[in-house]
Amino acid sequence: MDKIHLLLATSGGETWEKQVCAVTLPGALGSLGVLAGHAPMLCALNEGELVCHTEAGEITRIRISEGIANVANDEVTLLLSHMSVDNG
Protein backbone atom coordinates (compact mmCIF):
# COMPACT_ATOMS: atom_id res chain seq x y z
CA MET A 1 0.00 0.00 0.00
CA ASP A 2 1.24 3.49 -0.80
CA LYS A 3 2.27 5.68 2.13
CA ILE A 4 2.05 9.32 3.05
CA HIS A 5 4.39 11.30 5.26
CA LEU A 6 2.49 12.87 8.17
CA LEU A 7 4.13 15.78 10.01
CA LEU A 8 2.60 17.73 12.90
CA ALA A 9 4.26 20.87 14.23
CA THR A 10 3.16 23.15 17.08
CA SER A 11 3.87 26.81 17.67
CA GLY A 12 5.90 25.73 20.74
CA GLY A 13 8.35 23.77 18.57
CA GLU A 14 6.99 20.27 19.27
CA THR A 15 6.96 17.94 16.24
CA TRP A 16 5.68 14.44 15.51
CA GLU A 17 6.02 12.54 12.25
CA LYS A 18 5.30 9.11 10.83
CA GLN A 19 4.82 7.22 7.56
CA VAL A 20 1.14 6.24 7.40
CA CYS A 21 -1.30 4.67 4.96
CA ALA A 22 -4.30 6.80 5.92
CA VAL A 23 -5.11 9.79 8.11
CA THR A 24 -8.47 11.21 9.19
CA LEU A 25 -8.52 14.90 10.09
CA PRO A 26 -11.13 16.98 11.97
CA GLY A 27 -11.69 19.49 9.18
CA ALA A 28 -13.57 22.73 9.78
CA LEU A 29 -16.36 21.46 7.49
CA GLY A 30 -16.33 17.88 8.78
CA SER A 31 -14.16 14.79 8.95
CA LEU A 32 -11.64 14.47 6.12
CA GLY A 33 -9.84 11.29 5.02
CA VAL A 34 -6.49 11.42 3.21
CA LEU A 35 -4.80 8.57 1.33
CA ALA A 36 -1.74 8.50 -0.91
CA GLY A 37 -2.38 10.33 -4.16
CA HIS A 38 -4.84 12.80 -2.61
CA ALA A 39 -5.30 16.03 -4.55
CA PRO A 40 -3.36 19.01 -3.16
CA MET A 41 -5.31 21.15 -0.70
CA LEU A 42 -5.01 23.59 2.16
CA CYS A 43 -7.74 23.45 4.81
CA ALA A 44 -8.68 24.69 8.26
CA LEU A 45 -8.85 22.18 11.11
CA ASN A 46 -11.12 22.13 14.14
CA GLU A 47 -9.98 21.02 17.56
CA GLY A 48 -10.53 17.27 17.72
CA GLU A 49 -9.01 13.87 17.09
CA LEU A 50 -6.69 12.96 14.24
CA VAL A 51 -6.50 9.22 13.55
CA CYS A 52 -3.72 7.64 11.49
CA HIS A 53 -3.23 4.05 10.32
CA THR A 54 0.07 2.38 9.45
CA GLU A 55 0.68 -0.50 7.05
CA ALA A 56 1.35 -2.75 10.08
CA GLY A 57 -2.17 -2.07 11.37
CA GLU A 58 -1.13 0.35 14.13
CA ILE A 59 -3.63 3.08 14.95
CA THR A 60 -2.49 6.34 16.56
CA ARG A 61 -4.91 8.92 17.92
CA ILE A 62 -3.79 12.49 18.44
CA ARG A 63 -5.79 15.28 20.08
CA ILE A 64 -5.11 18.44 18.13
CA SER A 65 -5.95 22.13 18.46
CA GLU A 66 -7.41 24.20 15.68
CA GLY A 67 -4.90 24.68 12.90
CA ILE A 68 -4.11 24.33 9.22
CA ALA A 69 -3.45 21.24 7.10
CA ASN A 70 -1.48 21.23 3.86
CA VAL A 71 -1.79 18.14 1.63
CA ALA A 72 0.53 17.82 -1.37
CA ASN A 73 2.74 15.19 -3.02
CA ASP A 74 1.86 12.41 -0.53
CA GLU A 75 2.75 14.65 2.43
CA VAL A 76 0.33 15.95 5.06
CA THR A 77 1.67 18.82 7.19
CA LEU A 78 -0.32 20.22 10.11
CA LEU A 79 0.46 23.52 11.85
CA LEU A 80 -1.13 23.56 15.32
CA SER A 81 -1.07 25.35 18.68
CA HIS A 82 -0.84 22.06 20.59
CA MET A 83 -1.27 18.29 20.34
CA SER A 84 -1.46 15.24 22.60
CA VAL A 85 -0.43 11.85 21.21
CA ASP A 86 -2.06 8.60 22.41
CA ASN A 87 -0.23 5.55 21.05
CA GLY A 88 -2.90 3.23 22.56
Q: What's the CA gap between 88 and 75, in Å, rounded? A: 24
Question: At the top level of CATH, which class does the domain 4-86 belong to?
Answer: mainly beta
Binned at pLDDT 50, 70 and 90, residue 88 comes out as low
- pTM for the structure as a whole: 0.92
**H helical segments located in the chain:** none
Percent of the residues in the chain that have a pLDDT greater than 90, as a whole number = 93
- Predicted local distance difference test score (pLDDT) of residue 70: 98
Residue type (1 letter), 42:
L
Q: What is the dihedral of CA 70, 38, 62, 87, to 10 degrees?
A: -130
Q: Region 47-54: what's the mean pLDDT?
A: 96
Domain boundaries, the chain: 4-86
- Predicted local distance difference test score (pLDDT) of residue 87: 63
Q: What is the mean pLDDT of the chain?
A: 94
Q: What's the CA gap between 60 and 74, in Å, rounded? A: 19
